[in-house]
């Protein structure tokens, strides 16, 4: 189960009159320029974009400008979202008849299979569809179930959820490798935690639909306790101290977003403790970030810049 917020990834595409690809990444302060024929040579520099060009079989010269509101390694799905934005830009330009499902699967292929960036496949679906979704992964089939959350529950969630940046970024690949190792080795605590997390996703969906917000917070806490069993790399003493501070100052529950190890901590607090919780988290060095839920998913548009 996931939801999207008003932190965006942008890809602007401008067609060139030659056969050059010019990529500008504003977040990494990187610029790469080369002929289209050489755009498939991976060298560790903007390889995700090159993987998109190869998978989409781009033959024409283009300028690409990339920017994300979320820092890399934040746990907010930045790389998957920028990949969906890339697919969306080329879909618009090349007039490709892709559905949201096809966009998400193509983004997964580009990021995970072609570029070799390790991770799951829910972030691509979240970015493509937008909103609150309960997503079922059944072998090779994915089913996205949009959730109709009442306006009252949405308003209360936006008020009582506190999102804070821990100040620590991480590479998710090592955490995922360690987590998968535990699963492959059939470590009892890892398998049990994964099974319980799957069951919790269903319970959390039901709590939201029924408007049981305090119960949702308690389930978040249980999910975080389970998540920590996936790998020893998911948390560290600084994160544990920050979460304990949150719990002592009004948080009913919470969890690190993404693979873990750093990035953003999300907490659901008691209705009268938001201001106290935010102050205490910032005293611990975290940065509280305001947000609102976003329901539109991928959007594309054209403008005449001449």
pLDDT in tens, 249-289: 999 999 999 877 788 999 999 999 999 999 999 999 999 99
| Mean pLDDT value across the chain | 91
25 domain residue, yes or no: yes
Based on the residue annotation, tell me whether 123 is a catalytic residue of this protein: yes
Burial class (CB in 10 A: 0-12, 13-18, 19+), 174: middle
107 domain residue, yes or no: yes
Note down the domain range covering 284.
Answer: 151-289
116 and 155 together in one domain: no
pLDDT score at 172: 54
- pLDDT tens track for 45-78: 888 999 999 999 998 999 999 999 987 777 888 9
State both tokens at 277.
Answer: 């919780």
Domain end (from 122, 146, 170): 146
Strands of 251-256's sheet in order across: 251-256, 264-269, 161-165, 287-289
State both tokens at 148.
Answer: 């109709």
176 and 253 together in one domain: yes
Q: 189 or 136: whose pLDDT is higher?
A: 136
34 and 97 together in one domain: yes
140 domain residue, yes or no: yes
Domain end (from 146, 167, 194): 146
159 and 252 together in one domain: yes
How many other CB atoms are found less than 10 A from the CB of residue 235? Answer: 18
Whichever domain contains 126, its CATH number is 3.30.230.10
**β pairing state of 30-35 and 62-68:** unpaired
**Residue in 17, 18, 43, 123 annotated catalytic:** 123
Whichever domain contains 162, its CATH number is 3.30.70.890
The tally of domains found in the chain comes to 2
Burial class (CB in 10 A: 0-12, 13-18, 19+), 224: buried
Domain end (from 146, 166, 188): 146
57 and 99 together in one domain: yes
Residue 219 has pLDDT above 90, yes or no: yes
294 domain residue, yes or no: no
Residue 209 has pLDDT above 90, yes or no: yes
Residue 34 has pLDDT above 90, yes or no: no
80 and 169 together in one domain: no
75 and 188 together in one domain: no
């Amino acid at each position: 189960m996931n939801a999207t917020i008003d932190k965006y990834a942008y890809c602007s595409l401008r067609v060139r009159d030659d056969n050059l690809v010019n990529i500008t990444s504003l977040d990494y302060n990187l610029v790469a320029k080369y002929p289209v024929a050489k755009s498939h040579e991976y060298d560790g520099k903007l390889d995700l974009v090159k993987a998109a060009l190869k998978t989409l079989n781009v033959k024409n010269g283009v300028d690409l400008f990339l920017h994300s509101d979320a820092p890399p390694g934040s746990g907010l799905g930045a790389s998957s979202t920028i990949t969906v934005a890339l697919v969306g830009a080329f879909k618009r330009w090349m007039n490709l008849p892709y559905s949201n499902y096809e966009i998400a699967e193509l983004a997964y292929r580009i990021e995970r299979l072609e570029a070799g960036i390790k991770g799951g496949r829910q972030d691509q679906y979240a970015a493509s569809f937008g909103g609150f979704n309960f997503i079922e992964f059944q072998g090779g089939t994915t089913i996205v179930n949009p959730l109709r959350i009442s306006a009252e529950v949405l308003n209360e969630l936006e008020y009582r959820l506190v999102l804070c940046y821990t100040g620590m970024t991480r590479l998710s690949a090592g955490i995922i490798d360690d987590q998968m190792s535990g699963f492959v080795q059939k470590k009892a605590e890892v398998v049990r935690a994964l099974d319980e997390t799957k069951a919790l996703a269903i319970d959390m969906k039901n709590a939201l639909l029924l408007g049981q917000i305090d119960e949702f917070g308690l389930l978040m806490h249980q999910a975080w306790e389970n998540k920590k069993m996936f790998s020893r790399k998911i948390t560290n003493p600084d994160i544990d101290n920050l979460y304990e501070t949150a719990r002592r100052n009004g948080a009913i529950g919470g969890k690190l977003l993404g693979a873990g190890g750093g990035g953003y901590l999300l907490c659901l607090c008691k209705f009268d403790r938001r201001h106290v919780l935010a102050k205490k988290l910032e005293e611990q060095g975290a940065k509280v970030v305001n947000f609102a839920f976003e329901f539109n998913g991928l959007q594309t548009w054209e403008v005449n810049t001449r």
